[in-house]
Amino acid sequence: NNAGVGHVGPVESVGLEEMKKIFETNFFGVVRMIRALLPEMKRRRSGHIVVVSSVMGLQGVVFNDVYAASKFAVEGFCESLAVQLLQFNV
């Protein structure tokens, strides 16, 4: 599960619609893929979810504000999900 689009430049150079597109791909793309496969993994009580994020999901980088924010969102989502899915052996 890997998605990544971004915009390099100061935050004031990125319109809100462009920010939404970045989150739509980088965060909601990951969420949609996981949601599509998760019911079957839970039913089987096994599975692995592999998400390729970015170092910018752990540390922001100058002029990559929105990209970093979208990857931080992925990291937080996956950390929370991992705890929830332990009971399903996923």
Q: How far apart are the first and last CA of the chain?
A: 15
- Specify whether the CB–CB gap between 59 and 26 falls below 8 A: no
Domains and CATH numbers, the chain: 11-88 (3.40.50.720)
| Active site positions, annotated | 67
DSSP conformation letters of 41-69: HHHHT------B--GGGTS--TT-HHHHH
Run of H or E including 28: none
> With a threshold of 0.85, does the pTM exceed it?
yes
Tens-binned pLDDT, residue by residue, of the chain (90 aa): 787 888 889 999 999 999 999 999 999 999 999 999 999 999 999 999 999 888 777 788 889 999 999 999 999 999 999 999 999 999
Query: Residue 42 half-sphere exposure, CB side, CA atoms within 13 Å?
Result: 11
